[in-house]
Every structure is written in C-alpha cells, then in structure tokens.
Amino acid sequence: MSDCDNCPSKGNCSTEEEGGCGFEKLNKFSSIKNTIAVMSGKGGVGKSSVAVLTARELVRRGLKVGILDADITGPSIPRLTGIPAGTHCTQNEMGIMPQKTKDGISVISLNFFLENEEDPVVWRGPVLSGAVRQFWTDIFWGELDCLVIDMPPGTGDVVLTVMQSLPLTGALVVSTPHDLASMVVAKSVNMAKKMNISIIGLVENMAYMKCPDCGKEIRMFDEKPLYDFIKREEIELLGSLPMLPQVAGMSNGETGLDAESAEVMRNVGERLVESLKK
C-alpha cells in the first residue's frame, strides 16, 4: 500500500463517494512510498532520458526504484533501460510482473505487451487512460521507495489521469532552452499547479554542446525565455545537461555520463531525496 499523506486509506483507496480520496487502488501486494512524475509538455526534449537517468541516480543512492512508462503511444523506456526488444511480462497470483534492468529498476511499459515494438497504439483517450490505471492497480511492484512516472507530452487525457488518479509526491520538469519549448512546458507546469502538485524543480536538457577539439561550450538557443519563465514561476533550476553521445547511446544500455552531467544528476537526486517521504 502507498504511504501517502494525502490518501486516508494509505493506498487502498476508495472513491470519494465511499469516503476515500479518489486515488486508484494500488496492487494489494505492493508498497510504493513516493511517486515522481517526470513531465515536459513538449515532446523531443529528452524527458524519457532524464527519467531514466533520475531513476538510476536514486538507485545509486540505495533506493528501491521503479519506472512506469505512461507515454503509452510513444513508449521508449524499455530501450533506454537496455531491456531487449521482444521482452514480455509474465503474471502470477500477485499480479503482472514488471521487467528488471541490470541495476535492479522495475520497469513496466506497453511495449512489453505488444507483439512487435514498432506496432502503433491506435487507441482513444479513455483506453489509454485505462492502461495507465492498470499499470498502477495490476502490476506487482513489490516494495519501492520511489516510482518514477515517465509522462507523455502535453496536457491530455493520460496526464490528467495520472494527476487525478495517482498520489503524486511531486513533479520533475524537463525543458530545452528553445523559446517554443519553454512556452509549451509552461502549460504543463500551470496544469500541475492547478492540480495542487508540487514542482520539485526543472532540468534543462540539450542546453549546449561541446566542441570536440577545444572543449568550448556552444549554446545554440537564447536561454533568456526559459530563465525568465523559471524566475517568474519560482521554479528551482536543478541543472543543465548538454547534448551527449552517452545519452544517445542509452538505447544500447550504456550508462556512462561525463563528469559535469553526472554532477547535474547528483544534484537532481539530492533534491529529489529531500522531497521524498521516508
């Protein structure tokens, strides 16, 4: 059961009409202390990569971690965690068993239920939302200190379902410095605030690239709009990640980061740990 202060039933929730908080019932054999939504609003900003790096950083700190791939129509978590294509889930009396990464992260994704990972998911909103609910109610997560939820871009049905149906501890926001990206990300941030979800901080991704010859940082976009947004909304900037071949290679199971990026992720992990319920 979930140890959530906002949930009077401690995760075994009923509907509001029945006197509960309205959150979905967690798999009865599982215990999840914290749920962190990684969101961006806009696709293509590296949200899923940051979600995986965040999960790995929490594992490095000794926490038991899972990743719920809520990006149903564009699932990328299996590849980013090095789980081979064609991997499928099994089920027993405790529920559907998630896959495990080499570093012990429990992972669930719709790709584990598809015959071919390249098959399109042509579902309407209610069916997509139902799948995310089942990832909470039907999966045997075991005991987790933190479940990282890789959110789909935008502010549509699935995002609303996660915010309304799951007891979120907080949200980690990912953006690039591009003016358009920061504008769209602002919509997601404002949605989270309307849903009374705490914004833990923002990670700036693809902030710059380094010249391979001289090591000079090359900033391709004007960062002022993003920084103005962060200041206006009083959001903490947790760090800036460059465009890295190591991140691009995550789909092959690679985990190495350069020293500066590793330091950024340590800062993200430290801030997250501070926000987590013990």
pLDDT at 212: 77
When pLDDT is averaged across residues 207-216 and rounded to a whole number, the result is 82
Once rounded to an integer, what is the mean pLDDT over residues 66-92?
Answer: 94
Distance between CA atoms of residues 145 and 3, nearest Å: 10
Q: Distances in Å between the alpha carbon of 91 and those of 19, 100, 131, 132, 153? A: 32, 14, 16, 17, 30
Check pLDDT > 50 for residue 174: yes
Domain residue limits, the chain: 16-275
Residue 9 has pLDDT above 50, yes or no: no
Quote the mean pLDDT of the chain: 87
pTM as predicted: 0.89
Label residue 256 by pLDDT band (50, 70, 90): low
Instruction: Say if residue 248's pLDDT is above 60.
Output: no
Our measurement of the distance from residue 33's CA atom to the centroid of its chain's CA atoms, rounded to an integer in Å, reads: 16
- Tell me if residue 38 falls in helix, strand or coil: strand
Give the E-state strand segments of 70-219 in sequence order: 91-92, 95-96, 99-100, 106-108, 143-144, 146-150, 170-175, 199-204, 209-210, 217-218
Per CATH, domain 16-275 is 3.40.50.300: yes
